[in-house]
Amino acid sequence: MNIATEKLLDDLVLRTEEIIGQAERLKELPMTTLNQRPHAQAWSALECLEHLNLYGDFYLPEIGKRISERRYPRPASIFRSGWLGNYFANSMLPKEKLNKMKTFKDKDPIGSSLDSGTIERFLQQQRQMLRLLMEARQHADLNRTRTAISISRLIRLKLGDTFRFVIYHNQRHMVQAYRAAGLAL
């Protein structure tokens, strides 16, 4: 995938703003609705958000660290996705029928005791993501800046692919959270 860097960043900002709006709407629901599971093995809406919080705990500091290093401070005009990063990002995009994926044990929130603080933490992370996107727009080459991934610090993705992966992953689980709460997006 080749895309103008500005166009990619605009798209990712828009997606993140939509996710924030969706999370704000979830805050209006009763805790019983937010904690209900469609079935025993499925996550509740709050468990979906907690799963995203657990990923945010890794990716937001990692992205921030790589941007702040400013090894490649001049943004490239075109972002060229890497084959692995493009695969990971595209696999996260929400689809009509979400394909099931097994999550890592340390990112599985099932059975956690969750409340409205889960949504607030998620919203804080999304606002941090917006700040990182703005900082990257000014101070990072999305092609040459590389980030570790949560499954292995040895594998590095282009910063643009990491942003895409994390934000698409957020969208995917927001769809799941809305379904768990009995809502449509």
Give residue-wise pLDDT tens across range 109-145: 777 789 999 999 999 999 999 999 999 999 999 999 9
pLDDT class of 27 with cuts at 50, 70, 90: very high
Average pLDDT value for residue range 30-47: 93
Average pLDDT value for residue range 50-69: 97
Percent of the chain scoring above 90 in pLDDT:
77
Percent of the chain scoring above 70 in pLDDT:
94
Tell me the DSSP string of the chain.
-EEEHHHHHHHHHHHHHHHHHHHHHHTTS-HHHHH--SSTTSPPHHHHHHHHHHHHHHHHHHHHHHHHH-SS-S--SEEE--HHHHHHHHHHS--SSPPP-PPPGGG--TT----HHHHHHHHHHHHHHHHHHHHHHHH--TTT-EEEETTEEEEEEEHHHHHHHHHHHHHHHHHHHHHHTT---
**CATH class in words for 2-180:** mainly alpha
Domain limits, the chain: 2-180
User: Of 65-79, 86-100, 165-179, which gets the smallest average pLDDT?
Assistant: 86-100
Give residue-wise pLDDT tens across range 97-117: 666 666 656 666 777 789 999
pLDDT at residue 11 above 90? yes
pLDDT for position 100: 67
pLDDT for position 106: 61
Average pLDDT value for residue range 33-37: 94
